[in-house]
Amino acid sequence: MTSLARTRRDPSRSSAGRVALVVVLAAVALVVAAGIGLTVGTKLVGIDSVIDAIVRFDGSDLQLVVRESRIPRTVFGLLVGLSLGAAGAVMQGLTRNALADPGILGVNAGASVAVAVAVAALGIHDFPALMAAALTGALVATIGVVLLGSAGGGSPVTLVLAGVALAAVLGGLTTALVLLNPHAFLQMRSWESGALAGRDLSILTVAGPTIAVGLVLAFAITRSLDVLALGDDTAAALGVRIGPLRTGAVASVTLLAGTATAVAGPVAFLGLAAPHIARGIVGSSQKAIVPLAAVIGAIVVVLGDVVGRVVIAPQEVPVGIVMAFVAAPFLIWIGRRRNPVQL
Amino acid sequence: MNAAPRSGIRRLRRPLDRRARWAMGILVVAVLAAFLASLSIGDRLISPIRVVEALFETQGGVRMVVVDWRLPRALAALFFGAALALSGTVFQTITRNPLGSPDVIGLTTGAYTGALIVMTTGGSSGVAVSIAAILGGFATAALVAALVAGRGALGYRIVIVGIGVSAVLAAVNAWMLLRARLEVAVSASIWGAGSLNGVGWQQALLPIVIVSVLIVLLALSRRGLWLIELGDDIGTSLGGRINLTKAGLVAIAVGLCAVVTAAIGPIAFVALAAPHLAKLIVKNGPLHLVATALTGAVLLSAADIIGQNAIPGHALPVGVVTLVLGGVYLIFLVVRTARQRF
């Protein structure tokens, strides 16, 4: 088992040519997905019209749709997908747990309950304040679930179950807040199902930098995560400082999952699925998995949003619900494996 | 290996010890206290003595409040709590997993899905909604069973697969709520939070009767449950037709949980927590089913009283209360058992 794991982790297996191929294919797929996100919807728009709408804006209805709806949705889809894919990969690497996902472990629920408090109890509606609330909630939930997991002896199953329980409690509190405040009910109903529609590009000024910092942090710790896969003691002996690594990972997951939740509502299971797909493509090095999972996440969210737009047009299925359909079966698939929690 | 079943059988035949008798006594008192409290406490406080008097009156304002308004709700809380607890104990025994209760593995979510399909397509009759909820519960049970079938010992697999199935169903539910007209969505959401609000005789009577019948059936087949608890091999060697017994017990357990969900919406964690708490109280004695039922009754009643009165002027659905309290209990349980077992 150990020798097999080591072979799979051997970086020499992914030759330079293979790495280049994966990078090129991922980049192409990302561009294609973004193109589909911009052009496909209830109305098909040519890519030339999209470019026209950006550089030669004439105020026509079609160009308005592109500028006001298609572009923001695609941009936010990319950001949310990058965030959740990377956050899931970091969580799986840190906890060495195949079931780690910001949704399953209650991080998104923490962000949700904080947003519900902000909306229902404090009457806050502007985006920076809501995002600050979401980040605080995500941070508290992340620290909480890590503490609970380690209080239970650090077993992977414990971590997952503690996360599910935490998510349940936080979900119950959200429901209570929303039911007590009919105004919040309306606002939370669409937000909670995870939607990219109706988000103004101006929130990029807040969400963009946060996600960028989270991604940089996530990429910075991948080498340490790889060493950590050998076990805490070995990693420490090899010079990884476990404490700072944990802190960095928690900070990165918080920034990524919290911001993604603030932008799109709680989107579950993408953070679970994307790293598994990435692992299937590039093997088990976190250095490759984290960026690839981020790209896969972005592709899946943008395409998922398109599917949600067209599948019951003119109505829409929010992307969070599409993601549950696409990615939750991964959980079932992992659950059916011989050893469900092993990476 | 050999000592366990023998001591198991001995345990089942052993008469109640002093501790268990005390525990059962305390449980019965707790049930009565919860029952009286739910008849007394409300917008208008009525003293327990006056409540008892009112139960035997034939007319009057107090009688109307106590017998017509509060009694069906109080009885529903007791019976439904017992039903959920028994459903949970059957599932936990059969899946050999303390977390394998019907709400964790998605049955209540599936029942909600069934009900929502009818509610959002314009079906308003309570009977149609109830039947759809029960069918939804059975369909989900069949789906989860099919997904984990042939994969060896159930263990944590059924919990993880169940969480996945319930996540997909939750997405289906969210989508149906989103597409529904606002009035339908609001009422369906309140129902979806699991509420005893507005439960009168009309809503309570039939489910209580069905639940009672199922509880009697379960009591009649309790020997099968004990055999399963002893392990498949031993159970078979002691003359149990294990698979048939299991199928029957699962059908009863799904029925119990689905009828309750159909009547008052999905209620989280009572099915999970009551069997554990009952075990803490009476260990695994011959009366553990009775203790489990009583514990479930107390839990749901108490949660409903809390929900109605915790925030003045607002009635919180009982399901929200059990979700929060039960979630905290699950965290405690997970952390505690993890130290011993994994």
pLDDT in tens, B36-73: 999 998 778 888 888 888 888 888 888 888 888 899 99
In this structure, chain A runs to a length of: 343
Q: Which of A2, A7, A9 is nearest to A225 (CA)?
A: A9
B268 contacts on A by Cβ (under 8 Å): 168, 172
Q: How confident is the model at residue B338 (pLDDT cuts 50, 70, 90)?
A: low
Q: Is the peptide bond before A340 cis (omega within 30 degrees of 0)?
A: no
A120: distance to nearest CA of chain B, Å?
Answer: 15
Q: Do A268 and B338 touch (CB under 8 A)?
A: no
A187 contacts on B by Cβ (under 8 Å): none
What is the structure's pLDDT at B341?
A: 52
| Cα A37–Cα A41–Cα A44 angle in degrees, nearest 5 | 100
A183 contacts on B by Cβ (under 8 Å): none
DSSP run (H or E) holding A128: helix A127-151
Q: Which of A330, A266, A255, A343 is nearest to B168 (CA)?
A: A330
Task: Give the one of A166, A269, A335 whose C-beta lies nearest to B160's C-beta.
Answer: A335
Q: Do A164 and B163 touch (CB under 8 A)?
A: yes
What is the structure's pLDDT at B213?
A: 96
A146–B contact, CB cutoff 8 A: no
Give every CB contact of residue A77 below 8 A, 6+ residues apart in sequence: A37, A196, A298, A301, A302, A304, A305, A319
Q: What CA–CA distance (Å, rounded) separates B294 from B20? A: 14
Q: What CA–CA distance (Å, rounded) separates A277 from A266? A: 21
Give every CB contact of residue A69 below 8 A, 6+ residues apart in sequence: A41, A197
Which residues of chain A, if any, have pLDDT below 70? 1-15, 152-155, 189-194, 338, 340-343
List the domains of chain B with CATH numbers: 3-341 (1.10.3470.10)
B342 contacts on A by Cβ (under 8 Å): 152-153, 155, 157-158
Q: What CA–CA distance (Å, rounded) separates A310 from B29? A: 59
Residue-wise pLDDT for B110-157, tens only, equals: 999 998 898 888 766 778 888 898 899 999 999 998 888 766 655 678
Q: What CA–CA distance (Å, rounded) separates A67 from A55? A: 11
Q: Do A168 and B269 touch (CB under 8 A)?
A: yes
Q: How far, in Å, are A42, A210, B73, B263 from residue B127 at the CA level?
A: 39, 51, 19, 10
Q: Do A165 and B334 touch (CB under 8 A)?
A: yes
**What is the pTM for the complete model shown?**
0.83
Q: Which of A196, A174, A34 is nearest to A116 (CA)?
A: A174
Whole-number CA gyration radius for chain B: 20
Task: Give the one of A148, A151, A331 whose C-beta lies nearest to B160's C-beta.
Answer: A331
ipTM score here?
0.80
Give every CB contact of residue B57 below 8 A, 6+ residues apart in sequence: B63
What is the structure's pLDDT at A119?
A: 84
Q: What CA–CA distance (Å, rounded) separates B271 from B89? A: 7
CA-based nearest residue in chain A for residue B147: A336
CA-based nearest residue in chain B for residue A177: B316
Q: Mean pLDDT of all residues in chain B?
A: 84
What is the structure's pLDDT at B28?
A: 94
A190 contacts on B by Cβ (under 8 Å): 178
B163 contacts on A by Cβ (under 8 Å): 104, 164, 331, 335
A164 contacts on B by Cβ (under 8 Å): 163, 330
List the domains of chain A with CATH numbers: 19-68 (no CATH), 77-336 (1.10.3470.10)
Q: Do A331 and B147 touch (CB under 8 A)?
A: no
Q: Which two tokens stand for residue B64?
A: 């109307």
Task: Give the one of B147, B167, B327 whose C-beta lies nearest to A168's C-beta.
Answer: B327
- Does residue B185 surpass a pLDDT of 90? no
Residue-wise pLDDT for B229-285, tens only, equals: 777 666 666 666 777 888 899 999 999 999 999 889 889 889 988 988 888 887 756
Q: What CA–CA distance (Å, rounded) separates A140 from B237? A: 53
- Does residue B16 surpass a pLDDT of 70? no
Q: Do B174 and A168 touch (CB under 8 A)?
A: no
- 8 A C-beta contact, residue B242 and residue B227: yes
Tokens 């009112």 correspond to B54
A114: distance to nearest CA of chain B, Å?
Answer: 16
Q: How far, in Å, are A198, A215, B44, B46, B201 from residue B54 at the CA level?
A: 57, 67, 14, 10, 17
DSSP state of B70: I
Q: Which two tokens stand for residue B34?
A: 């919860």
- 8 A C-beta contact, residue A81 and residue A319: no
Task: Give the one of A179, A180, A335 whose C-beta lies nearest to B161's C-beta.
Answer: A335
What is the structure's pLDDT at A298?
A: 95
Torsion of CA B1, B5, B10, B12, to 10 degrees: 140
What is the structure's pLDDT at B2?
A: 42
- 8 A C-beta contact, residue A135 and residue A210: yes
Q: Do A169 and B179 touch (CB under 8 A)?
A: no
